[in-house]
A and B are shown apart, each in its own frame.
Chain A
Amino acid sequence: MNRFILRYQGEGSKPAEDVNRIRSLENIKVLDESSPRMLLVEGAGARLKALVESMPEWVLTPQRMIPLPDPRPKPRKRS
């Protein structure tokens, strides 16, 4: 399952009404809503994308991992 970040860009905290609309989507699970302006959800991206297009104060971004920065050279192949 893919994870997505939904961020509210309007004034103040994320509106409960908007959160309920997101929560009511079929096969979408809200994993974290502790942030005043964000939600972390799991589910089908297409449904979320369609909903967010009707909610102009929200942006949708896939969750991804950022590696620990390390400039040390590493072997790519074993000899």
Chain B
Amino acid sequence: MKSKLSIQQYILMPVRGFRAIQPFSPLSVVNFFISIASGGMVSPQAFGKKKAPPVKMRVLDSIHEDGPKLVELLPDQAITLRASQPSVKLVPVVYYRTAVSPRLTIRSRAVAGAGRAPLKITLKVVSKKDAKPVSGATVVAFVDFEKGIGDQGTTNSKGEVRLSLGGSRKKVQRLYVYPEKGFWGRLKKNITVISGTTIGLGPLDLSYADSLRYFYGNSPRGSGTGIKVAVIDTGVDTIHSDLHVDGGMNTVLGEDPKDFGPNGSSHGTHVGGIIAGQGRPPSGLRGLAPGVKLRSYRVFGKNAEGASNYDIIKAIDQAAADGCDLINMSLGGGRSDDAMRAAIEEARAKGSLVIVAAGNEYRSPVSFPASDPLAIAVSAIGRKGTFPKDSTEAGDISRPYGKDRNNFIAAFSNIGPELDLTGPGVGVLSTVPGGYAPMSGTSMACPAVAGFAAKMLSMPSHRNILKMRRDQARSDAMAQALLQAAKSLGFGPRYEGKGLPL
């Protein structure tokens, strides 16, 4: 396959500080920076590692012989360099522009007409198995998907939801149903709905081979033993039969620090189950590393939809202080900030590897803190055949497809040169408070990678890394081992980083 990648410019820097000086940078990195100070093409020998794969890179400018370099290289070569030299960071060169004011858009008029209240349509959601009503399901109906025109609501105890769609009989371009637990979601396209329209949901079968189990299978019970993993999220359910939460902290200002269970959202519990679920199908679900010590750091307040960067930074500090080997952050968004960057840098300096979801803004740039050079940024892949054809996951199928045409980069996944890895993140089955549910997002791909890392690091071949002193060299070694385990699925580094760890 012909490569369509073009050379890009990066700033090459040591991971800590502005200049490569000991003791903040290993001697090999100091020597590497000095060896390429004169500019021009870099020979593979300059990396000081005989086993390191060759990297072709042009040094365009250097601020100081041991300082940042402006370099040019292909994105896949950038990934190779990062994998072989975790003590250097590559920051893509960006160009700022003036802020152009956004164009005003015309608001569409309701079909019902002026002065008339839009008619509501009552839809009913039931189980396909026994036609019993499904309550608590979120129903989202778009009459114009591109323009985002529609309505949404939640089903009541009768399984009913009333939506304003601009008429009593309406053509709906897309109708999504997201149940809380126990069922697959449902996507229906181009249907006409009237009051009384019924939508059936397929019950979950915990033996089903979803994308996580397709790529990783079911792990042995002891996988991940000896590894401590932090989940910085909405809180992990401490009473779910498939989960054992070893400890944690609630860092939300004004809340009880010991209340690190769910805040009202099932997100953190789902993430925790992907890493450390201890059940066994068909009665339960197993994560990738059920032997880990799972710790929950809750940063979202009770029923809050946002987390403060202050609470997140406190959680990163606490997780590193608690000796967590891996820190999973299925969150992100907004501008980068120096304090969180410093916290990630310090966690790395204490031997903890920080793994972060790339974000779900539909091909937007990798969000912060995943974009931080010291974070392992994870995009989401899906695979056709690992979810029902009529489920909501069908809406996540998008180009590009991999070498195996059944694999795809999820439509919602953010992409960019900051990506390190990809993970299964479409229709992943895992634990939620009181049961099980499928969820999709880079939020799910991130713990898949964290779980894989825990499983890998607990194997005899990598135990020497765990025995290392808790410092930068240790987290570098973890990053290096994880990145070197990755295999490209043929999407290219902008979509998959170095690929899927296998």
By a beta-carbon cutoff of 8 Å, the part of chain A in contact with chain B is 3, 5-7, 9, 31-32, 34-38, 40, 59-79
Contacts and interface: CB of A to CB of B under 8 A. Distances in A.
Given A59-B338, A65-B307, A79-B118, 15 more contacts: A3-B310, A5-B313, A5-B339, A38-B310, A66-B312, A67-B306, A68-B300, A69-B357, A69-B441, A70-B360, A71-B412, A72-B176, A74-B152, A77-B107, A79-B110
Contacts of A5: 309-310, 313, 337, 339
B265 A77 contact: no
Contacts of B143: 79
Contact of A66 (B110, B138, B176, B333): B333
Contacts of A64: 308-309, 334-335, 337
**10 closest cross-chain pairs (CB), A and B:** A76-B148, A65-B306, A71-B360, A71-B412, A75-B150, A61-B337, A61-B339, A59-B338, A7-B339, A79-B166
A5 B148 CA distance: 36
Interface residues of B, number: 65
Contacts, number: 144
B254 to A, nearest CB: 9
B341 to A, nearest CB: 8
A48 B111 CA distance: 53
A63 B150 CA distance: 34
Interface of B: 107-108, 110-111, 118, 138, 140-145, 147-152, 164-166, 170, 174, 176, 178, 234, 253, 265, 267, 300, 305-310, 312-314, 317, 330-335, 337-340, 342-343, 346, 357, 359-360, 392, 395-396, 410, 412, 440-443
Contact of B306 (A7, A61, A68, A71): A68
Contacts of B359: 69
Contacts of B360: 69-71
A38 B339 CA distance: 9
Nearest to B165: A79
Contacts of B176: 72-73
Contacts of B150: 75, 77-79
B142 A73 contact: yes
B338 A69 contact: no
A71 to B, nearest CB: 4
Given A68-B305, A69-B360, A75-B140, A37 B152 contact: no
Nearest to B360: A71
A77 B110 CA distance: 10
Contacts of B340: 61
Given A59-B338, A59-B339, A64-B334, A79 B111 contact: yes
B486 to A, nearest CB: 23
Contacts of B138: 72
B308 A69 contact: no
B14 to A, nearest CB: 16
Given A5-B309, A59-B339, A66 B331 contact: yes
